Amino acid sequence: MTSILVTGGAGFIGSNYVRGLAASRPELTVVNVDALTYSGNLENLAGVLDTPRHRFIRADIADAQALERALAGIEFDQVVHFAAESHVDRSIEDAGAFLRTNVLGTQVLIDLARRRGVKRFVHVSTDEVYGALGATGLFSESTPLAPNSPYAASKAASDLLVRAAIHTHGFPALITRCSNNYGPYQFPEKLIPLMVSNALEGKPLPVYGDGMQVRDWIHVDDHCAGIECVRERGRIGEVYNLGGGNERANIEVVRGILAATGKPESLIKYVADRPGHDRRYAIDASKAKAELGWSPTVGFEEGLRRTLAWYVDNREWWSRIKSGVYRDYYARHYAHRVGEEAS
Ligand code: NAD
Ligand code: TYD
């Protein structure tokens, strides 16, 4: 039986991935290592926690000794590495945790995986390592890395460490670079869950700058399916871009959410732009499509409808987060932006 070490499996994408494996891959067992930072939440694992094929271990991937101790005597053949600090705005405020988890933590995992003779290591990365696009063009796997935020720079550094391990040690790794995800269990600091939950609460929807920045949205289920294709059939040493092919300007997304929730556009509040804000991301995923037979299946309007329904049905989940640890960050971050509001 194949055993997979998943890191960051209590976060947004990791928990969706783990839940997907539990539902569809009875031949796999999962060891889920997560430090449970502000964005990690055991409630995200409802239904899989404490089942025979899923074992949860709380550990910090950047602490090599603690990780080794936590995993002593536990066997695994493959690694799927999600654990990261993941929010651009927080990296602008303070990059320290990003360097520690995303850079150091990735090297700690590479070293551990090499000692354990792991057969495949999937490093989950982001299209943000490529920087920003103008009005046209797409990121391909050969687009030069040109990260613009501390988050993106820390992810690019982790990609380069994985690349170096492949080149130097013949480390059996693969890298995925995906566009912006949305779906259930996404922490409400990211655009879609923040706007959905604010709309449901009748609060202002803070749009950075002119709202014309473009993201290429992908439903988290499609991302997880892509990671599975890469894990199973990807060529070791390769990078695979994954993207939804759903380019939308932020303001379109926000208006769509207001329309779907029946709330007025007067809730839109233009606020000061994010420093260094990347204008446009868009992915060329033709390599994954041609080599692995992967394609996204969830159209954006349908995916957004399903996501909205999930946030309506799971109000307790996000209300608890928004009234708890997230509250201080929100007050600090948005008070400052509104103070600098764009006219
Ligand atoms: P998330 O913030 O929801 O989850 C991250 C998880 O990692 C949390 O459960 C957290 O507790 C855990 N973690 C953080 N530091 C840790 C540490 N030191 N040790 C162990 N666990 C730690 O993020 P997400 O959106 O689920 O992103 C997961 C991965 O996917 C990240 O690597 C991110 O760069 C990548 N990615 C995300 C997107 C997106 O749109 N969200 C797109 C492309 C790639
Ligand atoms: P985000 O979800 O933080 O993802 P990323 O920065 O990794 O793309 O933001 C998505 C887009 O939404 C990005 O262009 C920034 C913008 N945005 C706002 O306009 N207002 C907000 O309050 C947030 C959180 C994001």
Q: Indicate which atom in ligand 1 lies nearest the CA of residue 62.
A: 18
Q: Round to whole Å and give the CA distance between 83 and 123.
A: 10
| Higher-pLDDT residue of 326, 20 | 20
Specify if 189 maps to a domain.
Answer: yes
Identify the pLDDT of residue 340: 53
Cα–ligand 1 centroid distance for 183 (angstroms): 14
What would the DSSP string read from start to end of 152-214?
Answer: HHHHHHHHHHHHHHHHHH---EEEEEE--EESTT--TTSHHHHHHHHHHHT--EEEETTS--E
The token pair that represents 70 in the structure block: 């936590």
Q: Is position 270 annotated as part of the catalytic site? A: no
Under 8 Å between Cβ of 149 and 92: yes
Specify if 285 maps to a domain.
Answer: yes
Specify if 252 maps to a domain.
Answer: yes
Confidence category of residue 199, pLDDT binned at 50, 70, 90: very high
State which residues form the domain around 244.
2-332
Q: Is position 128 annotated as part of the catalytic site? A: yes
Specify if 343 maps to a domain.
Answer: no
Identify the pLDDT of residue 325: 78
Q: Round to whole Å and give the CA distance between 336 and 212.
A: 21
Instruction: Find the CATH number of the domain harbouring 215.
Output: 3.40.50.720
* Beta bridge partner(s), residue 34: 58
pLDDT over threshold 80, residue 110: yes
Cα separations in angstroms, 223 against 84, 177, 193, 250, 277: 16, 10, 17, 20, 24
Specify if 225 maps to a domain.
Answer: yes
Helix (H, G, I), strand (E, B) or coil at 6: strand
Taking residue 189's Cβ as centre, other Cβ atoms within 10 Å add up to 20
* Count of the separate structural domains present in the chain: 1
Q: Is the pTM of this model over 0.95?
A: yes
pLDDT over threshold 90, residue 50: no
| pLDDT tens per residue, range 276-311 | 999 999 999 999 999 999 999 999 999 999 999 999
Rg (CA), the chain: 19
Q: Round to whole Å and give the CA distance between 333 and 48.
A: 34
Q: Is position 89 annotated as part of the catalytic site? A: no
| pLDDT tens per residue, range 18-48 | 999 999 999 999 999 999 999 999 999 999 9
